[in-house]
Amino acid sequence: MSAAALDKSLKTTDPDRRMSALFAEPDVRDRLLALYAFNHEIARIAEASTESMIGEMKLTWWRDAVADLYAEPQVIRRHDVTEALAPLTATLDLADLNILIQARFDDIAAKPFADLDDVLAYVDNTSGQLMKLGLAVAAVELDPDWTRTAGRAWGLTGLLRAFAPRARIGRAPIGMDALDEAGVTLAMLAQGIGEDKLKPALAPVVDAAQSACADLKATGVLPAETMPVLGYAVLASGYLKALPAGPYQIAPERSLLARQMRLSWCSLTGQ
């Protein structure tokens, strides 16, 4: 798949990361788009698969396909995204990509989160790890604490926005300890009931997302060279403020123009 085709696809599937990547030089932009296309492929498997076994087979295929890219000689399986990802092996470690992949196996297995720390670890291994990989392909160094904060701001907000579909697959972003205390079961989550009991149990996750957004803002000016990789994280606070009152309700989309303007401001000011 050409860079132009990846760009067109991500315009629909991952628009905010794609818009941030457009601020990069062409070669860096193309590498970021390839990385984001791969992330989309593995992230969507759990919700797109009707049976866990099918989902596991699909994700295993991706894990093996990525491993093949690091074989000697390199083996590139026939898929647009693997072909786009192949050149990135010169700058990315297989172990770092596997962290991203392994986190998705828990989604497929519908493994519930134990507690808030478990939710944070998942966000670090998905949203935060993707930012780490993005910095690597862009050849940019940044304090890991900054990357973790940006990853949590974006990742936690994203999980809250996707609460309803994640609840249906058994991976609602809330710890079982909080659910047990509130008297809410996984079956209730899957059916979208028990909202009144759920709200206080979900509050620590909301607080963590708000804290991450505040910490990101307080960190200071985003270095210009990191804007194409981390810039989209500044959109998290706006998404968080727009969350519906009920966790099962569909989160509204923010205006594309507003998001474009926010990213342009970030590119000019680093804030």
In this predicted model, what pLDDT tens digit does every residue of 10-52 receive, in sequence order?
999 999 999 999 999 999 999 999 999 999 999 999 888 778 8
Whole-prediction pTM? 0.95
* 259: CB partners within 8 A, 6+ apart: 15, 16, 19, 235, 238
Q: In terms of CATH, what superfamily is 3-269?
A: Farnesyl Diphosphate Synthase (1.10.600.10)
Residue 119 pLDDT > 80: yes
Let me know how long the chain is. Answer: 271
With H, G, I as helix, E, B as strand and everything else as coil, classify residue 15: helix
Q: Which residues contact 198 (CB under 8 A, 6 or more apart)?
A: 174, 182, 184, 189, 247
Count other Cβ atoms within 10 Å, centred on residue 255.
11
pLDDT, tens digit (0-9, with 9 covering 90-100), for 48-82: 877 888 989 999 999 999 999 999 999 999 889 99
Mean pLDDT of the chain: 93
| R_g (Cα) of the chain, nearest Å | 18
- Give me the mean pLDDT over the 93-118 stretch: 94
> pLDDT for 120-136, tens place per residue?
999 999 999 999 999 99
State how far the Cα of 2 lies from the Cα of 249, in Å rounded to an integer. Answer: 37
